[in-house]
Structure formats: C-alpha cells, structure tokens
C-alpha cells in the first residue's frame, strides 16, 4: 500500500485518480495482515486495486466523471465491488473516466483528461482511461472498469495491458452507474491475463439485484485449458487489410495470425457483412438508452443543482433545464439530445426500431460465424494511442466521428453481448503499445483466457 501511495503521488500529473483512499487502505492492510497471520485471509488478500468512478462503494463519493453528481455519496456497494472486498482486496482509490463512460480518450471528464504514461502527449483511451493508466504506471495492481463499447479493452490496448469484457450478464450491474443498460459490462484491467481472469471469477455470478445477470455457474477461469485439438480461429480481414488501420497494427496482427497457423490451428479471414452498420447501430441504441437512464439526474434527486440569481425564473422546469445544462458536459448533452431524438414519436420507427432490427441481424451473423469458429481475432483498435486533442472534433481538419471510429473493432462484442479480451501485442515504431482482441462465444471466458494466455 505504501509503495502504491508513493507512486500515486509521484505520478499525480497523469490524473488517473480522482480520489485516493490513503488512510483507509492503510487500515485495511493492517486488518488483512492480521487475517493472513491467523490463516483467514481471502483469495485476493493483499491485492491493491482501483475502481472506476462509475462504481458505487458505500460511504464513498461517486461522480461518473461528471459535475452533475456534485458531492453525492454512494448509499450502497456494487455487487462486483462487494465480492472483491469479501475476498480482502484493498481499494486504493477512485479512478478518473470519461463523463458517464462516454468517450474513447478520457478527454470528456469533468476532472480533466488522463495522460498516457508511455507518452504524456497522448490519450490513454477511454472511457476507463484512469483505470488503465493506473495499472500501466504501477499505481495499483489492477483496476475495475466498465465496457459498453470498448471502454475496458481500448484503453488497455493503448496502455499495453490486459482488458477483459465478459459476456453480457456475467457480472451483476448492480451499483454500476448506467450508461446503456443492454450493453454495459463491468470488466477487469490488469497486467496479466491471469489476474484479469481471477478478478472476473470472483465478481461473476448470479445476483438477485440485477435481473439480467446470468444464472450459469461460474467456472474457474484461471484453471480452464484449451481443447486438445487444433482451434478454429477467424480473423477480421479488415483488421489486416483495411487502409483505415495503421500499418504497424496490421503487421502486428498478421504476425500473431502466422504464429497461430504455425502452431497448427486453422486461421481463416472472414468479413462481417454488417461491419459498416456496427457503429451506427451502437450509437443509436446507446444514446437512446442513455437519454432514458440519465433523466434521473434532474437537479433534485442527486448532487448538483443550479442556483439561479433570479428566483422568479426558477420554476421546476427551468430548474431541471439549468441544472442539466450546467451539470452535464458537451458530449453527454449531445448524446442525450441524439437519444431523445431517436426515441421521439416521429422518428422512433425510423431509428430506434430499425437499429434494434439491425442489432438482431448482427447477432445472427455473429452466431453463424461462431458455429464454424471458436474465436474471432482482430486488432483491438485501428491505431495506437492518438494525441490529446487530435480527435475531439474541435479542429478544422477533424470531424467528431473520428473518435467514434476508435471503437470499430470493440463494439461488436457489446452489440451481441459476447466476451472479448484485449492483450498486448507489441509496439509500433514509436514504441506505443498495440492491442490484440480475441472474442469468444457467450460464457466461454475460460477458453478465451486460456488462448489469451498462450499468446
């Protein structure tokens, strides 16, 4: 704990933590020392982790990277977090993230951007940017993030570490501040596949507080081995051929494909015919769900409330409007507007219903693919970490959709609810990390972890 606290101080400029629980972590360490001495310590005794600022931890602040929660304090602890605490994990602090987990660069946080520890002029990825950098810079051993469209895997790739998004419903969402409920997954970020698997194993499983959580038994993901036969692995042709993917990323991916072939596995290129509809489907459905989820932040129930100097204009509606206008950042306001638009009476069928239909088609196509293959491989992201400010859509040569493209390979897993993992796959010519993504069929986390370890 002391070692991490010293490093957190030393690397304060990275802005990875929004709050550090120094004295609490020290106390916890003492308690765990005693438990170790008496032989009663849990499986995670001594593991020092951080949690993304979207996870509730009773008695501690939770802000979702936003101003709108004000000084809100969590009233209860997220199931996933509680299960880790029950195994004697030490939580060292709360980690910076994009506001309401919306973003791919951690530049949308009300608490300022997080910097990539490998090159501080670059982004760490998002939205779990603080969680990834904290592991990258050795400020904690592992982090717990959330992944709605890539937010655990993409920052893990940009920071050269491991990020695991489980099957939808594998980990209870109770206590996770909702962004898009039918996509949201809690997931671990760690230095090794083994640590990520262990954290998943402990967080996963049935929970009466989340009706979408699966009752499938949790197997020991750290112990699972691969079937004793050559694997059938598909890889996305675009990931190694598309001009939209950096050459260094294409080459690194190709190298892994060749290695798998040499190891005797069947490795075939595939095309996802609906690839170009992935991002539109994702952004229509997630903004719709977000507009509904975020309606609870009205300036009355939680945190921030606008204080008007002119009491006469402060009727209830203007209180809502002013509080939400001032409390939410630009990206969140944009998505609430988009989501409200696609759900509005005149456009519901054209956008929301249509996107639901396309989601089903993408799912069916993915299911068919997995009838033939055990895994789907691709780069995690088309590029390595980009520069701060490069894709914010605020400069003349830039358009706001550039940022969304950073998620082109990660969103499919969330659209269909399948598990996926990002593992480090070397660096580009400038020494920046590259990530490799593996996706597996639902509840095949054990096999996914086993293959990821072998890579």
**Where along the sequence are the contacts to ligand GLN (CB under 6 A)?**
101-104, 127, 147-151, 179, 286, 407
For residue 115, what are its two tokens?
């910097």
In the bound state with ligand GLN, the residue whose beta carbon lies nearer, of 1 and 101, is 101
- Shortest Å, Cβ 259 to ligand GLN: 29
In the bound state with ligand GLN, the residue whose beta carbon lies nearer, of 233 and 332, is 332
Nearest to 75 by CA among 64, 90, 96, 61: 61
- Shortest Å, Cβ 180 to ligand GLN: 8
In the bound state with ligand GLN, the residue whose beta carbon lies nearer, of 174 and 283, is 283
In the bound state with ligand GLN, the residue whose beta carbon lies nearer, of 148 and 366, is 148
In the bound state with ligand GLN, the residue whose beta carbon lies nearer, of 149 and 440, is 149
- Shortest Å, Cβ 31 to ligand GLN: 34
Active site residue 172: no
- 66, 109, 127, 128: the catalytic one is 127
In the bound state with ligand GLN, the residue whose beta carbon lies nearer, of 331 and 374, is 331
- 66, 109, 143, 151: the catalytic one is 151
Active site residue 127: yes
In the bound state with ligand GLN, the residue whose beta carbon lies nearer, of 25 and 180, is 180
- Shortest Å, Cβ 375 to ligand GLN: 21
Active site residue 354: no
> Counting beta carbons within 10 angstroms of the beta carbon of residue 394, is it exposed (0 to 12), middle (13 to 18) or buried (19 or more)?
exposed
In the bound state with ligand GLN, the residue whose beta carbon lies nearer, of 179 and 373, is 179
- Shortest Å, Cβ 287 to ligand GLN: 9
CA 114 to chain centre: 15
- 52, 165, 256, 391: the catalytic one is 52
- Shortest Å, Cβ 4 to ligand GLN: 26
**Torsion angle, alpha carbons of 330, 335, 338, 344, to 10:** -120
- Shortest Å, Cβ 220 to ligand GLN: 27
How would you write the chain as a 3-class SS string?
CHHHHHHHHHCHHHCCEEEECHHHHHHHHHHHHHHHHHCCCCCCCCCEEEEECCECCCCCECCCCCCCCCCCECCCCCHHHHHHHHCCCEEEEEECCCHHHCCCCCCCCCCCCCCCCCCCCECCCCCCHHHHHHHHCCCCCEEEEEECCCCCHHHHHHHCCEEEECCCCCECCCCECCCCCCCCEEEEEECCHHHHHHHHHHHECCCCCCCCCCCCCCCCCCCCCCCCCCCEEEEEHHHHHCCCCCHHHHHHHHHHHHHHHHCCCEEEEECCCCHHHHHHHHHHHHHHHHHHHHHHCCCCCCCCCCCCCCHHHCCHHHHHHHHHHHHCCHHHHHHHHHHHHHHCCCCHHHHHHHHHHHHHHHHHHHHHHHHHCCEEEEECCCCCCCECCCCCCCCCCCCCHHHHHCCCCCHHHHHHCCCEEEEEEEECCCCCEEEEEEECCCCCHHHHHHHHHHC
- Shortest Å, Cβ 293 to ligand GLN: 12
The CB-nearest residue to ligand GLN is: 151
- Positions annotated as catalytic residues are 52, 127, 151
């Amino acid at each position: 704990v002391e070692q991490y606290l010293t490093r957190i101080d030393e690397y304060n400029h990275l802005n990875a933590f929004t709050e550090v629980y120094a004295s609490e972590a020290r106390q916890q360490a003492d308690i765990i020392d005693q438990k170790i001495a008496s032989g009663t310590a849990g499986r995670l005794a001594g593991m020092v982790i951080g949690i993304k600022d979207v996870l509730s931890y009773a008695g501690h602040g939770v802000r979702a990277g936003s101003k709108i929660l004000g000084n809100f304090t969590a009233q209860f602890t997220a199931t996933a977090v509680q299960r880790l605490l029950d195994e004697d994990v030490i939580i060292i602090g709360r980690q910076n993230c994009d506001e309401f987990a919306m973003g791919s660069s951690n530049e949308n946080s009300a608490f300022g951007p997080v910097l990539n520890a490998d090159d501080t002029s670059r982004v760490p990825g998002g939205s779990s940017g603080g969680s990834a950098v904290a592991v990258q810079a050795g400020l904690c051993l592992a982090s717990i993030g959330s992944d709605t469209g890539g937010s655990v895997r993409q920052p893990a790739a940009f920071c050269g570490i491991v990020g695991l998004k489980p099957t939808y419903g594998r980990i209870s969402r109770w206590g996770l501040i909702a962004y898009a409920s039918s996509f949201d997954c809690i997931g671990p970020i760690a230095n090794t596949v083994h640590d990520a698997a262990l954290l998943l194993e402990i967080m996963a499983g049935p929970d009466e507080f989340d009706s979408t959580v699966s009752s499938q038994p949790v197997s020991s993901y750290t112990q699972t081995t691969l079937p004793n036969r050559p694997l059938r692995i598909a890889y996305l042709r675009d990931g190694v051929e598309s001009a939209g993917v950096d050459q260094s990323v294409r080459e690194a991916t190709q190298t892994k494909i060749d290695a798998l072939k040499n190891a005797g596995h069947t490795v075939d290129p595939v095309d996802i015919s609906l690839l170009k509809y992935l991002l539109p489907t994702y952004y229509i459905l997630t903004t719709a769900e977000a507009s509904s989820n975020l309606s609870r932040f009205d300036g009355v129930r939680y945190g921030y409330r606008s204080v008007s100097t002119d009491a006469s204009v402060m009727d209830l509606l203007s209180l809502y409007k002013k509080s939400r206008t001032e409390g939410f950042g630009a990206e969140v306001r944009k998505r609430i507007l988009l989501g409200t638009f696609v759900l509005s009476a005149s456009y519901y069928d054209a956008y929301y219903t249509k996107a639901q239909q396309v989601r089903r088609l993408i799912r069916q196509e993915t299911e068919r693919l997995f009838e033939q293959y055990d895994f789907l491989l691709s780069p995690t992201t088309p590029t390595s970490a980009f520069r701060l400010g490069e894709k914010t859509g605020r400069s003349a040569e830039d358009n706001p959709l550039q940022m969304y493209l950073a998620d082109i390979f990660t969103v499919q897993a969330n659209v269909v609810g399948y598990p996926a993992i990002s593992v480090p796959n070397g660096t580009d010519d400038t020494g920046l990390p590259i990530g490799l993504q593996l996706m597996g069929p639902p509840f095949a986390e054990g096999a996914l972890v086993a293959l990821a370890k072998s890579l």
